[in-house]
Structure 1
Amino acid sequence: MSRAVLLPALVACLLAGAALAGCGVPTGGAPATIAPSDVPYGLASPTGPSPSPAPTPPRADQPQVFLVGADDVLVPRGRDVEGTLPDDLTALLAGLAEGPTAAEREEGLSTALPPGVVLSVTDVAGATATVDLGGAAEVPSGRESRAAVAQIVLTATSVPEVTAVRLTADGAPVEAPLPSGELTSEPLTAADYAGFRTAPPD
């Protein structure tokens, strides 16, 4: 029989499930138990997706960037920065301005800071750092603006030598929103924005 005739005949035979025995396909007998030692390696293992690794919490002595998580709660993620103040703070704020890493985005983390924002340390007086905001075409408003300020303040004050932050915009002092919505030109502390680290009540 030629190959051209054989292939259609084979296909027709396979489709006729009730006639498998007539096609020369063995029907087999009763099910048989296979010993685990006879199963090829890996076939007996579960094949579900590998779980994502749990995020590594920042070390107590590690500077942190604060990102927006579930329920708009700000969560810390460690960053390895080198140098001393103000270089380490400059590097840390640059990391915050870049936004979450790919792995952090997979965790569902985001940022309230606008795209293109540039955070610069222009002065450090005592334990108060002046951070200038520039480069952003759009400035967030409402709760998002308060969350953005909270991200900057909590991130900057994760550097041990910094306890307060004063904000400027393109060199000019600005009144920053507190969580209540009230504006202030006073230095901002981590305690001012502690409420952003917990979920709001239902």
Structure 2
Amino acid sequence: MTDIILEVIRAIAVAAILIIFLKVGYAKSIFNIDGWRHIVTGFALIFFGALIDITDNYPGLNKFILIGDTIVQSFLEKVIGYLLGFIVLAYGIGKCLPKLVELTELKKLEVSKQRLKVLRATMRTVLDIVNNFLNNVQYFKFRAEQENALPRELLEELESGIRDTSEKLKKLGALESTPEKKLASGTVIDYEGVLDKTSPHK
């Protein structure tokens, strides 16, 4: 009696796994991935073996030859069900895993591209705001020169700061990747590292 209960539980567990794989395959549309159908087929064969295994506990079924405690039943259970099932399952896993890894990498790449797209749009907005500010500073400098309101050294320092900021903004706007670094305030783009790599003297 204990054997029957354990065999029924095993069959139910394999059936549950098979149903999960079928649902995932249809929901995620991954049946066309190499190996996925073999995995499902492998579990189906193992489930078949588990079901056939239950019948050998009932001698009255021997007259049906295919089920009960017979040589044919034993062959179907151990060879067709379990052995062939595990072979097909192993083959499917071997074929499917590399494809799943490849799909995961493609998904990460797609997410990175979308993120870069959003960052570039944000960067363009920031550039417009900062450029408007720099234009106002440039106008202030021009007025200060005309009216001799500031010392020449201070005006030259202001001009240098404007020019340096403009160069950094141009290079940031042309970024092809988004290297990051951690600050106390949070994660930011490591623009200093990018600027060092793109500087002519490097």
How does the TM-score come out when normalised to structure 2?
Answer: 0.24
| Bigger fraction of residues in helix | 2
* Bigger CA radius of gyration: 2
| Bigger fraction of residues in strand | 1
How does the TM-score come out when normalised to structure 1?
Answer: 0.24
